[in-house]
Amino acid sequence: MGKNLLIVESPAKAKTIEKFLGSDFVVKSCYGHIRDLQKDDMGVDVDADFTPHYIIPDDKLKVVNELKKVAKSSQEVWLASDEDREGESISWHLCEVLNLDPKTTNRIVFHEITKPAIQKAVQNPRKLDMNLVDAQQARRVVDRIVGFEISPVLWRKIGRMGNLSAGRVQSVAVKLIAEREREINDFKAEISYSVKARFAAKDINKKDVSFEADGSKLDSHETAEKFLNSCIGATYKVNDIIVKPGKRTPAAPFTTSTLQQEASRKLGYSVSRTMQLAQRLYENGYITYMRTDSVNLSNTAIEAIKQEINTAYGSNYYQFRKFKNKNESAQEAHEAIRPTYMENHTITESEGKKLYELIWKRTIASQMSDAVTEKTTAKIGISTNREELTASGEVIKFDGFLKVYLEGTDDEDEQEEGRLPLLAVGQSVDFIEMNAVEKFSRPNARYTEASLVKKLEELGIGRPSTYAPTISTIEKRNYVEKKDKEGTPREVKTLKLKDDKVTKKTITENFGSEKSKLFPTDLGLVVTDFLNKHFENVMDYGFTASIENEFDKIADGKENWKKMVKGFYKPFHSEVVETMENAERATGERFLGEDPESRKPVIARMGRFGAMVQIGSTDEDEKPQFASLRSGQSIETITLEQALDLFKLPFTLGNYDDGEEVSVGIGRFGPYVKHGEVYISLPKGKDPLEVDMAFVKQLIEEKAQADAPIATYQGKPVTKGKGRFGPFIKWDDLYINIPRAYNFDKLTQKDCEELIEKKIEKEANRFIQQWPAEKITIENGRWGPFVRFNKKMLKLGKPGKSKYTQEEAAAISLDEVKEIITLQVPDAFTKKIKKASPKKAAPKKAAKK
Tens of pLDDT, residues 798-828: 665 667 888 888 889 999 899 888 888 888 8
Report whether pLDDT(207) > 60: yes
* pLDDT confidence of residue 417: 54
Q: At residue 521, what is the residue type?
A: T
Lowest mean pLDDT among 75-89, 129-143, 717-731: 717-731
**Residue 424: strand, helix, or coil:** coil
183 Cα distance to chain centroid: 21
**Residue 401: strand, helix, or coil:** helix
Report whether pLDDT(736) > 60: yes
Residue (of 788, 794, 764) closest to 776 by Cα position: 788
Q: How many residues does the chain have?
A: 849
790 Cα distance to chain centroid: 31
Q: From CA 379, how far away is CA 368, in angstroms rounded?
A: 35
Q: From CA 613, how far away is CA 767, in angstroms rounded?
A: 44
Lowest mean pLDDT among 6-20, 215-229, 401-415, 534-548: 401-415
Cβ partners under 8 Å of residue 449, min gap 6:
260, 264, 270, 271, 471, 482, 516, 518
Catalytic residue check, 236: no
Report whether pLDDT(835) > 50: no
Report whether pLDDT(839) > 70: no
Residue (of 464, 458, 461) closest to 326 by Cα position: 458
> Mind listing the pLDDT tens digit for each residue in 307-353?
999 999 999 999 999 998 766 555 545 789 999 999 999 998 888 99
Reply yes or no: is the peptide bond before residue 52 cis, omega within 30 of 0. no
Q: From CA 757, how far away is CA 761, in angstroms rounded?
A: 6
Residue-wise DSSP of 689-744: GG--HHHHHHHHHHHHHHTS-SEEETTEEEEEEEETTEEEEEETTEEEEPPTTS-G
Q: From CA 84, how far away is CA 168, in angstroms rounded?
A: 20
The residue-averaged pLDDT of 167-193 equals 95
Q: What percent of the chain is helix, strand and coil (3-state, nearest 5)?
A: 35, 25, 40
* pLDDT confidence of residue 226: 96
The average confidence (pLDDT) of the chain is 89
Band (pLDDT 50/70/90 cuts) for residue 509 is: confident
Residues 408, 409, 410: CA angle, nearest 5 degrees: 135
Q: At residue 102, what is the residue type?
A: P
The residue-averaged pLDDT of 750-771 equals 88
* pLDDT confidence of residue 1: 55
Residues 325, 292: contact at Cβ < 8 Å?
no
Q: From CA 604, how far away is CA 159, in angstroms rounded?
A: 17
H or E stretch including 280?
helix 271-283
**Residue 566: strand, helix, or coil:** helix
**Residue 407: strand, helix, or coil:** coil
Count other C-beta atoms under 10 Å from residue 409's C-beta.
11
391 Cα distance to chain centroid: 41
Q: From CA 601, how far away is CA 594, in angstroms rounded?
A: 5
> Mind listing the pLDDT tens digit for each residue in 604-622?
999 877 899 999 987 767 8
The residue-averaged pLDDT of 47-63 equals 92
Residues 253, 338: contact at Cβ < 8 Å?
yes
**Residue 234: strand, helix, or coil:** coil
Report whether pLDDT(126) > 80: yes
Percent of the chain past pLDDT 90, that is, above it, reads: 63
Q: From CA 86, how far away is CA 148, in angstroms rounded?
A: 21
Residues of the chain with CATH 3.40.50.140: 4-128
Residue (of 252, 281, 270, 297) closest to 355 by Cα position: 281
Q: 713 forms bridges with which residues in the sheet?
A: 716
Residue-wise DSSP of 750-819: HHHHHHHHHHHHHHHHHEEEEEGGGTEEEEEETTEEEEEETTEEEE--BTTB----HHHHHH--HHHHHH
Burial class (CB in 10 A: 0-12, 13-18, 19+), 605: middle
Q: From CA 47, how far away is CA 73, in angstroms rounded?
A: 40
Parallel/antiparallel/unpaired status of strands 236-248 and 428-440: antiparallel
Band (pLDDT 50/70/90 cuts) for residue 553 is: very high
Burial class (CB in 10 A: 0-12, 13-18, 19+), 237: middle
Parallel/antiparallel/unpaired status of strands 208-214 and 191-202: antiparallel
Percent of the chain past pLDDT 70, that is, above it, reads: 94
The residue-averaged pLDDT of 775-786 equals 86
> Mind listing the pLDDT tens digit for each residue in 487-507?
888 899 999 999 999 999 999
Residue (of 797, 792, 759) closest to 777 by Cα position: 792
Report whether pLDDT(412) > 60: no
* pLDDT confidence of residue 22: 81
Report whether pLDDT(538) > 60: yes
Which DSSP state fits 368?
B
Report whether pLDDT(832) > 80: no
Pick the catalytic residue: 236, 269, 282, 289? 289
Q: At residue 337, what is the residue type?
A: I
* pLDDT confidence of residue 846: 40
Residues 744, 736: contact at Cβ < 8 Å?
no
**Residue 106: strand, helix, or coil:** strand
The residue-averaged pLDDT of 758-779 equals 86
Residues 614, 625: contact at Cβ < 8 Å?
yes
H or E stretch including 224?
helix 221-230
Report whether pLDDT(413) > 80: no
Count other C-beta atoms under 10 Å from residue 628's C-beta.
17
The residue-averaged pLDDT of 641-657 equals 88
Residue (of 84, 96, 80) closest to 132 by Cα position: 84
Cβ partners under 8 Å of residue 206, min gap 6:
none
Count other C-beta atoms under 10 Å from residue 453's C-beta.
28
* pLDDT confidence of residue 704: 83
For residue 418, how many C-alpha atoms fall within 13 Å in the half-sphere facing its CB?
8
Range 256-369: architecture per CATH: Orthogonal Bundle (1.10)
Residue-wise DSSP of 474-505: HHHTTSEEEEEEPPEEEEEEEEEEETTEEEEE
* pLDDT confidence of residue 837: 45
764 φ, ψ to 5°? Answer: -65, -35
CA distances from 505 to 194, 432, 511 (A): 15, 18, 18
* pLDDT confidence of residue 561: 96
CA distances from 11 to 29, 599, 625 (A): 5, 67, 57
Residue (of 742, 744, 771) closest to 829 by Cα position: 771
Report whether pLDDT(298) > 70: yes
Please tell us whether the domain made up of 4-128 is placed in CATH 3.40.50.11540: no
Q: From CA 103, how far away is CA 345, in angstroms rounded?
A: 42
Region of 593 on the Ramachandran plot (φ > 0 left; ψ -120 to 50 alpha; else beta): left
Parallel/antiparallel/unpaired status of strands 106-107 and 77-79: parallel
Torsion angle defined by CA atoms of residues 605, 611, 615 and 616, in that order, rounded to the nearest 10 degrees: -40
Residues of the chain with CATH 1.10.290.10: 256-369
Residues 95, 30: contact at Cβ < 8 Å?
no
> Mind listing the pLDDT tens digit for each residue in 397-406?
999 999 999 8
* pLDDT confidence of residue 608: 79
Band (pLDDT 50/70/90 cuts) for residue 83 is: confident
Band (pLDDT 50/70/90 cuts) for residue 638 is: very high
Q: From CA 347, how far away is CA 359, in angstroms rounded?
A: 12
* pLDDT confidence of residue 688: 87
The 3-state secondary structure of 604-665, one letter per residue: EEEECCEEEEEECCCCCCCCCEEEECCCCCCCCCCCHHHHHHHCCCCEEEEECCCCCEEEEE
* pLDDT confidence of residue 327: 61
